[in-house]
Amino acid sequence: MFSKQALLLSVLALSWIVLLRTDAASLPQDEVNVLNQIAKTMGADQIAQKNGGTDWDFDANVCRKYVASTEETAPVMNITCSCQNETCHITELIFQHYSLPGVLPPELVQLPFLKTIDLAYNYLNGSIPPEWASMQLEYISAFGNRLSGNIPSYLGNISSLRYLDLEINQFSGAVPHDLGKLVNLETLKLSYNRLSGSLPQELGDLNNLTDFRINDNNFNGSIPDFIQNWKQLTRLEMQASGLEGPIPSSISVLKNLVELKISDINGISQAFPDLRSMTGFLRIILKNCNIYGEIPEYIWGMSDLRILDLSFNSLHGELPNAIPAANLKYIFLTNNSLSGNIPASVSKTGTGVDLSYNNFTWQSPEQPACRNDNVNLFRSSSTKNLSRVLPCVNDFKCQKYWHSLYINCGGDDVKINGTTYVGDGNSYAVAASLYQGPNNWGFSNTGDFRDDNDEQNAPGRFLASTLSSDIPELFTTARLSPLSLTYYQYCLENGSYMVRLHFAEIQFKSGATFASLGRRIFDIYIQDELVEKDFNIEAEAGGVYTPFTKQFNINVTDGKLEIRFCWAGKGTQAIPTHGVHGPLISAISVDPNFRPRYLEKKMKTVPIVVGVVGSCLVLLALGILLWRYYFRAKKRRQDLRKLDLQTGLFTLEQIRAATDNFDPVNKLGEGGFGPVYKGELSDGTVIAVKQLSSKSSQGNREFLNEIRMISYLQHPNLVKLYGCCIEGDQLLLVYEYMENNSLSQALFGPRHQMNLNWPARHRICVGIARGLAYLHEESTYKIVHRDIKAANILLDRDLNPKICDFGLAKLYQEDKTHISTRIAGTIGYIAPEYALGGYLTYKADVYSFGVVVLEIVSGRNHTTYGPENKYACLLEWACQLLQNGNLLDLVDDELGSEFNKAEAETVIKVALLCTNVSPTLRPTMSEVVGMLEGRSPTPDPVNASSYSDDLRFKLIRDHRVSMSSRQSIEGTPTPHFSTSQGLLNQSSSASLRTSHLS
């Protein structure tokens, strides 16, 4: 342990010395001039004129130039130098995510010390300059550009090259033989181009190769046997490469393989390749490789294996009774001929298993596979009746026959020209799931999004949406699938139907940006027949964000309709972010081409006895009330089971015992959700219990949302959820108890009740920032809280802050620029772009955090404080102080002079940066943490020339006018209450809040 600490201190000390030397040294003017010319060649001047932001005018201090962000699509600039005797030379250039529109710069040759050039995610065209061939480059990445023509053979002259990435470009022709001369090459990535021909034999000489990828190309010939020479290989990818099988038997010698992805190869059938010597596998993907026979037993014994995808093959036999591979996260076996009973070990907690389209024994409701939502059994048995479509259902019979179907995929219910399209956006869908919706329809979903470093595949990951007003509402949402998505309808009247599939590509962008370079390609099957091969929405529609409808006449002969979308390995997988691939569907409509036989008929009734009718009505009303009561309780229990909670379930008896039957003495406070009680469990654990009030505006949906969000989150600055209770009509959340109430009570309650000195306030600011950084950037589920305010920050015994109240929280999908949602939150804390247009990103939380920080520093409430009534809110006053150069006047008078002035000024500046009216100019929360902790410099906030029309303050003024008008009309104020006044130690005052509309 001591040696590790000593080594770390040595590395830190050395880094500090190097940094000091770099600070003292500078770049020669000739390299500065070359660098500026390089920027011009790549089109940086066009980007600067169009977007602003990045400074492309480099000087001698450029070696300290570094621009980065935790956002996956945010620009990255890194200019690294090697310095000696106060002179530096550029060794590394990284310009990512700028959409630079120029060409690759030949001027690189004038940087003799350059080793690394990374220009990924731009919009560069042309080819690779021949001047580069004379350089001693070690690393070249041109990933995600528009480079075209043949791959230059002179790249083979760069003998020092270790890494070459040309993925997602427009290269064509054959791979040059000269690449075989790159004997030091370790990584070669050529995926997502238009390369053809066979792989040259000379590539077999690359004995140091560890990573080889050629996905989505037009190669021909067989998979070469020379891959056996790559003894150091750890990753091999050949998905839809054009090469034919079989997989050569010599693959068995590649003992270091960790990831093997071979899919969609034509050729003769083959037995399962011998992989027994590769004991370190993390992922095995052998999809659609014409493999027959049984799955070898040794596969199930690979202890490190995380993902196994053997879908779309001809595998037969039975699954073993025990599947011991403890780390398996997903097993995809769809579209094979596997049979026998489904062992209980398949249904172990935490593993997603897709067994759809197989010949297993039909599973009755009591069997383990039927009790696990993460096992997909759609068409998993050889049964010919409806049981094949509807596993786990006994003796199903159609009670009604349908003759139409309208689905808004990935969205809510929407009415179009008088027809209601039923939304499936709230349906439970994960990597291996079967959803059975109302009116005898549903969908089956399969697959894991590739290379997105997210094995959780939360339900929101399978949805896409846009706020664009340029396309009809029906096309603003969509359902996604990384591998296979089947929509089905059963109990359908036989006959001829018109099936309309509605599409709009809403994940790619248009214009001169790297986000426009994506290609989505998939196949479409209807009634098990291929109706569209290599379907490309953007190409068919003539652009992105362009609605397109494809029509098919289909015959239904057995009461069932199936529409299947399958990804066959083609298209890009990392534009605009990693994991964007596979089918996308916006809506489905099915109409009969005939006059339906089973139309509902109106019945003629004759009143006989009024008393009898009245009695029936009374009984019916009582029945409806009872049904609603039990149905709601049942639905809540079902919804809870779907959540796959990481928390405990408490009985109502336990909660009553802990709170002395909800004794008023134990009542801590009252919020919009309902009362909060203090309690003590039988083991002595002190708890806080949130009880849903019958008058609550939060209701069942937000109750479940809060459980769903926080049950997966573990962080020192997030309140801990112990569990919940649902019995009858009772909804209860059980949290850890916070001794020091909420931050709101500490700041705005009776003065002097708590000593919030400056170190405590600074620690609270940092703690909240860390909690939000975890939610936005570090947790498996990326979450926008939507209601950050002092009342939703709790303080423990040591005044450590903990974020609570996740009832309004939203999953934030990294492949989206924003979330489209109705507005919810608290007036004064809501970011202007969200309050005005429902445009939600995690930058909305950043804005709210900035407001809370101003409250912490000043000890004043944001919306109720304005000195001399001159300002709408605390933020407007802070902006005025910034303009006047008197920022420290904002600091709480209670602190006197006992605070760190430099630290306070930094904190206020950070708050003003966070509350910038433009979300793109707000920092990320990880950047905020760096600034608050002093690890990163704090830039000066932008000062507006006038605040009279500032949207941030106009919203508050308009709200006050509205409230005043209401009071004058009604005679009394009508406050809205917060959904949570926390897990409190005392009752707290209500806070003004917008209605919960989302």
Report pLDDT digits (tens) over 206-259.
Answer: 999 999 999 999 999 999 999 999 999 999 999 999 999 999 999 999 999 999
pLDDT band at 606 (very low <50, low <70, confident <90, very high): very low
When pLDDT is averaged across residues 670-688 and rounded to a whole number, the result is 80
Nearest to 479 by CA among 352, 587, 334, 374: 587
Amino acid in the structure at residue 772: L
Q: What percent of the chain has pLDDT over 70?
A: 80
Residue carrying structure tokens 């040294």: 25
Q: For residue 876, give the H/E element and its range.
A: helix 874-884
Residue 269 has which token pair? 């059938």
- 725 close to 734: Cβ distance less than 8 angstroms: yes
Tokens of 142: 């041109």
Distance CA 871, CA 890 (A): 14
CA pair distance 985, 938, nearest whole angstrom: 37
Question: Residue with structure tokens 């693959």?
Answer: 251
Q: Check if the beta carbon of residue 337 is closer than 8 Å to that of residue 343.
A: no
Tokens found for residue 408: 């808004």
What does the pLDDT read at residue 944? Answer: 61
Task: Give the whole-angstrom CA distance, residue 370 versus residue 351.
Answer: 14
CA distances from 112 to 115, 415, 663 (A): 9, 64, 78
Contacts of residue 610, defined as CB under 8 A and 6 or more positions apart, other chains included, come to none
Q: Look at 364 and 944; give whichever has higher pLDDT.
A: 364
How large is the average pLDDT for residues 26-36? 93
Phi, psi for 220 (deg, rounded to 5): -130, 170
Residue entry with tokens 């990481």: 646
* Residue pLDDT, tens place only, 498-533: 999 999 999 999 999 999 999 999 999 999 999 999
Structural fold of domain 743-970: Transferase(Phosphotransferase); domain 1 (1.10.510)
Q: How confident is the model at residue 865 (pLDDT cuts 50, 70, 90)?
A: low
Considering the four listed CATH numbers 1.20.1630.10, 2.60.40.3140, 2.60.120.430, 3.40.50.9100, the one that applies to the domain covering 405-592 is 2.60.120.430
- CB neighbours of residue 764 within 10 Å: 24
Q: Rounded to whole angstroms, how far apart are CA atoms 405 and 497?
A: 10
Taking only the tens place, the pLDDT of each residue in 279-327 is: 899 999 999 999 999 999 999 989 899 999 999 999 999 998 877 656 8
Strand partners, 315: 293
pLDDT tens digit sequence for 89-144: 999 999 999 999 999 999 999 999 999 999 999 999 999 999 999 999 999 999 99
Helices (H) and strands (E) in the chain, counts: 15, 52
Name the residue among 993, 271, 498 with its Cα closest to residue 697: 993
In the prediction, which pLDDT does 982 show?
Answer: 34
Model pLDDT, residue 8: 37
- φ, ψ for residue 942 (rounded to 5)? -75, 130
What are the φ/ψ torsions at residue 20 (nearest 5 degrees)?
-60, -40
- Quote the pLDDT of residue 962: 63
384 — pLDDT class (breaks 50, 70, 90): low
The model's confidence at residue 981, banded by pLDDT at 50, 70 and 90, is: very low
In whole angstroms, how far apart are CA 192 and each of 57, 219, 663?
34, 12, 66
Q: Which pairing describes strands 783-784 and 375-376: parallel, antiparallel, or unpaired?
A: unpaired
- Angle at which helix 901-914 crosses helix 758-773, to 10 degrees, equals 30
d(CA 413, CA 80): 53
pLDDT reported for residue 69: 63
Q: What is the pLDDT of residue 608?
A: 35
**Range with lowest mean pLDDT among 516-520, 602-606, 713-717, 943-947:** 602-606
Q: Which residue has the tokens 């090459």?
A: 185
Q: From CA 141, how far away is CA 587, in angstroms rounded?
A: 39
Identified catalytic residue from 118, 787, 815, 892? 787
Under the banding of pLDDT at 50, 70 and 90, the label for residue 686 is confident
- Please name the amino acid found at residue 707: I
For the chain, the straight-line distance linking the first and the last C-alpha, in angstroms and rounded, comes to: 51
Q: Please determine, for residue 636, whether its predicted confidence score (pLDDT) is greater than 60.
A: no
More confidently predicted of 787 and 695: 787
**663 catalytic, yes or no?**
no
Query: What contacts 653, CB < 8 A, 6 or more positions away?
Result: none
Q: Which amino acid is at 520?
A: R
What is the residue extent of each domain of the chain? 405-592, 743-970
At residue 714, the pLDDT reads 76
Lowest mean pLDDT among 5-9, 27-31, 189-193, 665-669: 5-9
Tell me how crowded residue 7 is: count the other CB atoms within 10 A of its CB. 10
Judged by average pLDDT, the poorest of 38-47, 671-680, 878-887 is 671-680
Element (H, E) at 911: helix 901-914
Q: Write the DSSP assignment of 595-664 as a string of letters.
A: --S-PPPPPP-----HHHHHHHHHHHHHHHHHHHHHHHHHHHHHHHHHTT-SSEE--HHHHHHHTTTT-G
The length of the chain is 998
CA separation for the pair 376, 356 (Å, rounded): 6
Give residue for tokens 């070690």.
138
Please compute the mean of the pLDDT values over residues 535-564 and round it to a whole number.
Answer: 94
Q: What is the 3-state secondary structure (H, E, C) of 347-406?
A: HCCCCEEECCCCEECCCCCCCHHHHCCCEECCCCECCCCHHHCCCCCCCCCCCCCECCEE
pLDDT band (50, 70, 90) for residue 774: confident
Radius of gyration of the chain (CA): 31
pLDDT of 448 over the 50 cut: yes
Per-residue b or e along 962-990, where b marks 16 or more CB atoms closer than 10 Å to that residue's CB = ebeeeeeeeeeeeebbbbbbbbbbeebee
What gap in Å lies between CA 62 and CA 56, rounded to an integer?
A: 10
